[in-house]
Chains A and B, each alone.
Chain A
Amino acid sequence: MPKDCTLRSILVIGSGPIVIGQAAEFDYSGTQGCLALKEEGYRVILANNNPATIMTDEVHADAVYFEPLTVESMEKIIAKERPDGLLATLGGQTGLNLAFALHERGILQKYNVRLLGTPIESIKRGEDREAFRALMYELNEPVPESEIVTTVEEAVQFAEQIGFPIIVRPAYTLGGTGGGIAETMDEFIKIVAKGLRESPISQCLVERSVAGFKEIEYEVMRDHTNTCITICNMENIDPVGIHTGDSIVVAPSQTLTDVEYHMLRSAAIKIISALGVVGGCNIQFALDPTSKKYYLIEVNPRVSRSSALASKATGYPIARMAAKLAVGYTLAELMNPVTGHTYASFEPALDYVVVKFPRFPFDKFPFADRRLGTQMKATGEVMAIDRNFERALQKAIHSLELDHIGLHSPALANESTKSLIDIIKKGDDRRFFAILELLRRGIPTSEIHEWTKIDLYFLTRFAQLIALEQQAKNITLDTVDERTFRTLKEKGFSDAYLAYIWHVEEKDVREKRKAYGIVPAYKMVDTCAAEFSAETSYYYSTYFGESEVQASDKPKMLILGSGPIRIGQGVEFDYGSVHCVYALQQAGYEAILINNNPETVSTDFTVADRLYFEPLTVEDVLNVIEAENVEAVIVQFGGQTAINLASKLETYGVSIIGMSSDVIDQLEDRERFYELLQSLGIPHVKGTMATNETELWEKINDIGYPLLLRPSYVIGGRGMHIVEHEQQLCSLIEQGIVYPVLIDEYMRAKEGELDAICDGYDVFVPTMIEHVEKTGVHSGDSYALLPAQSFTEEEKKKMIDYAKRITKQLHFKGLMNVQFIVRNGEVYVLEVNPRASRTVPIVSKVTGVPMVQLATNILLGKYLSEYVIQSPSLSYVVLKYPVFSTYKLPGVDPLVGPEMKSTGEGISIAKTVQEAALKSFYPYLVKKKGAHEIYVDAPEKAASLIEAAKRFGLTVVTDEPFEQWLEKKEALAFVSFMRDDESVQRRKQALARHLLVCTEEETARLFFEALQTDDFSVCSIQQWLKMMKEVVKK
């Protein structure tokens, strides 16, 4: 059946700011979905308050609403736009829950909005544990013995019958939030209590743990005629017990026989048919490794992280197809966009192996609980493709950008065997590297299998890698023969690693390798194992066989992507990469892109002209450059990942467009940076550097307390500390400081930043950004207002002038982010980033200035004077707010400081700061209706704040027993400034109760502002921009 012509406009709900468990994958699925709907001629209305996304670009939807993702604001949007349909299965759990709530409250019916795709009953059956279990009994599909509980008592009763271990899964939560595996009754009671609080319907499923079974997932699609296909199956190397988002995953499954593969496939199809899903669905099974017994563990009746992974792993665009199915198409009517001439109703055949590896935030949160379980902790992931498992695995590891040397984790090399065994038994994030280290120490795979239940197939592969590693260590660059060299490369040992163990430069390894004629071949991802010819240019490298890539003679540019999502480097850098691709294509260039993050839009093979799914390392990038005859590389849009590669690439004669690596060095090397500022007459904070402890003590005398300590070359403020006094410094030294360390004067004052488009002479700044919090809070974690509200004209002029001076001096072209401190009318330059920053997508969206496109054109040789652009004067206020996932990382203190902790951000747009603040805090306030008590832990430091709170009608609590207060329904927020252990503990407790914790006075004040108004109106960005232009005209 062709598409539904009774529909004209469709509301799409996005997944909102990035949190652990809901990341860039929904930008990918949302963008695909919106494009698919627009292609069909529908008016697309999008609700998503995450400005860093590509889906929220004007071009992807006709009306984009940066509004709170709550039922109330969705109703406002629906009332205003009157969409005919709602598509909610592309926006993760957030979208699904909202659609469900809109239905339950009768809003869809009231406004006559049809839910497209998977019907509400199916969503209910898939998500509601009890309904789901009942359906499975009906289908005769095995589920582990379980009980739905709504009280701790019920749960205890179940545990007494079944025994431990038991898994607790709260209903309707994201990424397994609040769940866990309990080994003892004590643990169990704690987890259940938490899970019940966590679940919006106070319901948990407690089930017999099948930990140790193989965990197998299927991505299934179904159309309304009940044609069902499985796109891909995936096998978690980590057996059941570790969340699939935290597991190392391979696609397709490696250890299943055909009988097992199809037994589970048939079950998956039976389940999706019975559920009545229209679109994509993820189904997870636990398979007994010693029999054909299996259990169904979970069903997600929507596109998911796994479906994004499956799309990239196979080339089959699940979200795009799901959107088409939602508007009435059948699978047999749709073409397979990869081959261009076969149909969408088929199952991809892979002729390669895909490995997904999670990226954890524990490098930033070393004190967090690293143990993995049913609650996801990874912030992002990488994917790698190769013809053999070993190199796919190694490529994934290279893509993680950790401080590993090949397969070595230096931190684990010093651990005792006993503690390594503990790590792998406990299953923390270092498990994989601990296994390798144990193999290196001669522990047999059989024992490791006993402890971890990881299949011997995989453990044997690991062991073979360690054997090869040993073989490599026994030779040198001089003695390596061609055959061994080929084997090492084919199995994934990087030039950098070989250089390290052979004590030579990477360049030497590369030269010798090429002299042997060992260069990678590039093979195509074509969905059909070469059975049909394909039209896509989606490639991966392999050090064996014939290459399928033929370089074109068109003018071309290589764009380096930003790798996995991690704290400090999120989806905003993917936004930059993708827009750079668009701009290059418009200018007639062939855009070639390298990236390794399967969640992103940039790794959608329809975006760049040629996509290389590769690690972002010197070796891999150079290989692509050589295979494609690339002349120039763009590094500005891929965040710090790309910037860090610039200088190394230059040593190989690669030209970096827009700047030299020396410019980067001048801006990032503190000493050179201050010299530069001084030579340009730009004020800066006092700063110096120490290379050892003695120097540190000496130099501190020049700077004085408070001061800021930080390592050079950092992203997201890793390892930064504000040091208030000597005692604190002593304890930091005790914990260990990595030298050289930068020492800066710490100035507590207003902070602001700007993003400038620079053409080597001039700059263009669309708007200024002012941070709500004072200096000392990482810009990524601060609330911020656009346009800046309190800077004087004089101050703003200085900021632009300084940016211009720097640009001119460095002949810098492209995008530059400059951060300032403003105190007593003086403007100090704090930091200059020679690249697209986190705020570029926000500035672009709220001002209507396509910054990345303009910057790309300048990189291609244009000048600002060729464009007629004016800094728009915004007739509205934009509030950017950070979103934290610290709740999911037990052990992390929510205190904000110079080290970034947030995982995502949102924006609110309104006429006034109050209204914008209300929108930002709205989802929280909805849940806290009636609460009015603010607990302040250091009242003596916050007299005026307390005054303000009282003025706003709030009750300030300072001396109630804290834990008791936490349980009160009046508890609204915890304002905490103290640094002592007890306060840290209190903040963690408050966080565990989902209570707002403000650790900066200004944040608390902003929150009070939000309470000043109780209603808000909704307005699309298109409408805001139109109003602004009208104001300008008048």
Chain B
Amino acid sequence: MEAYVHLQNGKTFAGKLETAWTGDVSGEVVFFTGMTGYQEVLTDPSYKNQIIVFTYPLIGNYGVNEVDFESKHPHVKAVIVYEAEETGYHYEAAYSLKQYLQKWNVPLVSHVDTRALVKQIREHGAMPAVISLRETAVVQMEEQHPVPLVSTSDVETYGSGDMHVVLFDFGYKKSIVHSLMEHGCRVTVVPYNTTLQTVEQLDPDGVLLSNGPGDPKQLSPYLPNVLAVIERYPTLAICLGHQLVSLAYGGDTEKLKFGHRGANQPVYDVKTKRVWMTSQNHGYVVKAESLAHTPLSVRFVNVNDGSVEGVAHETKPILCVQYHPEAHPGPNDTQFIFAEFVDMMKAARKEKVYA
């Protein structure tokens, strides 16, 4: 069946509907440039309510397995590809891409000139779009606050390591927890609006502010709490978490034209003077100049556009990265961030002992 992708700028792309579904679906349309990792992308909560375009043309080749999910279900609103593999061939494959998306009622549109679509996004910015079976449609999108939709409401603990980390769930990826566990941490996942008092009761060695969807400013009411927590504990903040830390210290964020979403973003590390390949997924960014009067200094810079990819507190053990050191999808080059975080927590523990 024919399906159409209507962009806000008036452009329409025709494609083929792969999953059974009726009605219109709207969301912000963004693109991901990684050549592998569609399963991780689909289940990354940061993509909540977005329509994802894969620039790699052949998606679904290795199916969908039970082990590489980043959360319990897909978060994207719809998926646009050039070709969707029918079956999926891999010893781990449990579903085909189509079966999996069908199961969660996520529309899959194939046979779209995704490169032309991406060029539209590149030129006009990430924008609202509607996927419809009708040849014309009005592109409307309601403003949403997606974090509450993806954050946990329970407190859950993973692992049994020596270091205890409280993870603020703004829409965390499972791989963050895995990375922490691999670095000897026990992780307690808490809702995004957990108060300092609750955290204190959990008595962690450090806190991690996770990635998550949407505009960080939607979380403005929670910034005083964020500030109180991070000033109290060694902190690692990833993606949305990094933006919240910057906002909490008086910095500012803005929307990128079309975001960084891929597995090949080069990031320069001011501290080690090396360039790392990073996995990224963000539409908002911290404005470098807004950090001037904050205690934060830039630690990581995007080599391509010079944007802020991470900051560190000048005196306190607070490290923030805009990219995804936990990878999945993408390169593992920056796993050392977790080791740095663990070192920060160890140092803080020592201080406590000596204090």
For A259, the chain B residues whose CB sits under 8 A away are: 68, 328
| Structural contact, A346 and B304, CB atoms closer than 8 A | yes
B331 within 8 A of A: yes
Mark out the residues of chain B between 273 and 293 whose CB falls within 8 Å of any chain A CB in the assembled complex: 273-277
CA distance A455 to B62 in the complex (A): 11
CA distance A153 to B111 in the complex (A): 60
| Structural contact, B275 and A227, CB atoms closer than 8 A | yes
Complex: chain B residue closest to A455, CB-CB: B89
| Structural contact, B277 and A229, CB atoms closer than 8 A | yes
For A269, the chain B residues whose CB sits under 8 A away are: 333
For A413, the chain B residues whose CB sits under 8 A away are: none
Q: A531-B33, A546-B116 are in contact. Are A347 and B264 (CB under 8 A)?
A: yes
Q: A258-B328, A261-B36, A290-B91 are in contact. Are A387 and B266 (CB under 8 A)?
A: no
Q: A227-B275, A455-B89 are in contact. Are A388 and B82 (CB under 8 A)?
A: yes
Mark out the residues of chain A between 348 and 395 whose CB falls within 8 Å of any chain B CB in the assembled complex: 348-353, 387-389
Mark out the residues of chain A between 512 and 556 whose CB falls within 8 Å of any chain B CB in the assembled complex: 521, 523, 528-533, 544-546
A342 within 8 A of B: yes
| Structural contact, A529 and B118, CB atoms closer than 8 A | yes
| Structural contact, A258 and B68, CB atoms closer than 8 A | yes
Which of B31, B268, B332 contacts A332 (CB under 8 A)? B268
B263 within 8 A of A: yes
Q: A256-B62, A258-B37, A546-B113 are in contact. Are A347 and B263 (CB under 8 A)?
A: yes
| Structural contact, A257 and B55, CB atoms closer than 8 A | no
CA distance A351 to B59 in the complex (A): 11
A289 within 8 A of B: yes
B interface residues, how many (CB within 8 angstroms): 52
| Structural contact, B275 and A350, CB atoms closer than 8 A | no
| Structural contact, A349 and B82, CB atoms closer than 8 A | no
A870 within 8 A of B: no
Digitize A710-728: 1 where CB-to-B-CB distance is under 8 Å, 0 elsewhere: 0000000000000000000
Digitize A261-292: 1 where CB-to-B-CB distance is under 8 Å, 0 elsewhere: 11001100100000000000000000001110
For B191, the chain A residues whose CB sits under 8 A away are: none
Q: A332-B303, A455-B89 are in contact. Are A349 and B115 (CB under 8 A)?
A: no
CA distance A530 to B304 in the complex (A): 14
CA distance A389 to B83 in the complex (A): 10
Interface centre among A253, A456, A529 (most CB of B within 10 A): A529
B65 within 8 A of A: yes
A989 within 8 A of B: no
Which of B31, B35, B303, B328 contacts A252 (CB under 8 A)? B35
CA distance A252 to B55 in the complex (A): 13
CA distance A546 to B117 in the complex (A): 10
B169 within 8 A of A: no
Complex: chain A residue closest to B93, CB-CB: A257
For B262, the chain A residues whose CB sits under 8 A away are: 349, 529, 531
| Structural contact, A262 and B327, CB atoms closer than 8 A | yes
Number of A-B contacts (CB under 8 A): 152
B246 within 8 A of A: no
Which of B31, B273, B277 contacts A346 (CB under 8 A)? B277
Mostly, the A contact residues are loop
CA distance A873 to B265 in the complex (A): 59
A345 within 8 A of B: yes
Digitize A490-528: 1 where CB-to-B-CB distance is under 8 Å, 0 elsewhere: 000000000000000000000000000000010100001
| Structural contact, B122 and A349, CB atoms closer than 8 A | no
Which of A256, A348, A531 contacts B122 (CB under 8 A)? A531
Interface centre among A252, A346, A348 (most CB of B within 10 A): A346
B40 within 8 A of A: yes
Digitize A248-260: 1 where CB-to-B-CB distance is under 8 Å, 0 elsewhere: 0000111111110
| Structural contact, B89 and A345, CB atoms closer than 8 A | no
B57 within 8 A of A: yes
Complex: chain B residue closest to A530, CB-CB: B118
A460 within 8 A of B: yes
| Structural contact, B277 and A460, CB atoms closer than 8 A | no
A226 within 8 A of B: yes
Q: A331-B275, A529-B55 are in contact. Are A351 and B303 (CB under 8 A)?
A: no
Q: A225-B273, A346-B264, A346-B266 are in contact. Are A529 and B39 (CB under 8 A)?
A: no
| Structural contact, B61 and A254, CB atoms closer than 8 A | yes
A697 within 8 A of B: no
| Structural contact, A533 and B122, CB atoms closer than 8 A | yes
Nearest CB of A to B321, in Å: 18
| Structural contact, B34 and A349, CB atoms closer than 8 A | yes
CA distance A532 to B119 in the complex (A): 9
For B83, the chain A residues whose CB sits under 8 A away are: 387-388
For A262, the chain B residues whose CB sits under 8 A away are: 36, 327, 329-332
Complex: chain B residue closest to A389, CB-CB: B58
CA distance A455 to B330 in the complex (A): 24
Q: A227-B274, A343-B304 are in contact. Are A351 and B56 (CB under 8 A)?
A: yes
Which of A256, A289, A346, A545 contacts B115 (CB under 8 A)? A545
| Structural contact, A343 and B89, CB atoms closer than 8 A | no
CA distance A546 to B303 in the complex (A): 31
Nearest CB of A to B301, in Å: 10
Nearest CB of A to B149, in Å: 25
A111 within 8 A of B: no
| Structural contact, A257 and B115, CB atoms closer than 8 A | no
| Structural contact, A353 and B57, CB atoms closer than 8 A | yes
Which of A257, A289, A351, A353 contacts B65 (CB under 8 A)? A257
CA distance A128 to B161 in the complex (A): 42
| Structural contact, A457 and B61, CB atoms closer than 8 A | yes
Nearest CB of A to B219, in Å: 28
B231 within 8 A of A: no
CA distance A34 to B337 in the complex (A): 40
| Structural contact, A345 and B266, CB atoms closer than 8 A | yes
For A266, the chain B residues whose CB sits under 8 A away are: 331-333
CA distance A648 to B213 in the complex (A): 58
For A226, the chain B residues whose CB sits under 8 A away are: 274
| Structural contact, B58 and A388, CB atoms closer than 8 A | yes
CA distance A531 to B261 in the complex (A): 9
Interface centre among A256, A262, A289, A521 (most CB of B within 10 A): A262
Mark out the residues of chain B between 26 and 62 whose CB falls within 8 Å of any chain A CB in the assembled complex: 31, 33-37, 39-40, 55-58, 61-62
For A332, the chain B residues whose CB sits under 8 A away are: 266, 268, 275, 303
CA distance A230 to B85 in the complex (A): 26
CA distance A760 to B268 in the complex (A): 61
B92 within 8 A of A: yes
Nearest CB of A to B161, in Å: 22
| Structural contact, A289 and B266, CB atoms closer than 8 A | no
CA distance A387 to B56 in the complex (A): 9
B87 within 8 A of A: yes
CA distance A227 to B111 in the complex (A): 38
CA distance A531 to B121 in the complex (A): 9
For B263, the chain A residues whose CB sits under 8 A away are: 347, 349
Which of B36, B268, B274, B277 contacts A258 (CB under 8 A)? B36
Nearest CB of B to A81, in Å: 36
Nearest CB of A to B263, in Å: 7
For A289, the chain B residues whose CB sits under 8 A away are: 91
B188 within 8 A of A: no
Nearest CB of A to B273, in Å: 7
| Structural contact, A291 and B91, CB atoms closer than 8 A | yes
Q: For the A-B complex with A352-B57, A529-B56 known, give 18 more contacts whose Cβ atoms are closer than 8 Å.
A: A229-B277, A255-B61, A255-B90, A258-B40, A262-B332, A265-B332, A342-B304, A343-B266, A346-B303, A347-B263, A348-B264, A351-B33, A351-B57, A387-B115, A388-B58, A530-B55, A530-B118, A531-B122
Residues of A in contact with B (beta carbons under 8 Å apart): 225-227, 229-230, 252-259, 261-262, 265-266, 269, 289-291, 330-332, 342-343, 345-353, 387-389, 455-457, 460, 521, 523, 528-533, 544-546
The 4 closest A-B pairs by CB, nearest first: A545-B113, A258-B37, A529-B55, A347-B264
* 23 interchain pairs, CB-CB under 8 A: A225-B274, A229-B266, A253-B36, A255-B62, A256-B36, A256-B62, A257-B65, A257-B68, A258-B68, A259-B328, A261-B37, A266-B331, A387-B115, A388-B58, A388-B82, A455-B89, A460-B87, A528-B264, A529-B262, A530-B55, A544-B82, A544-B113, A545-B115
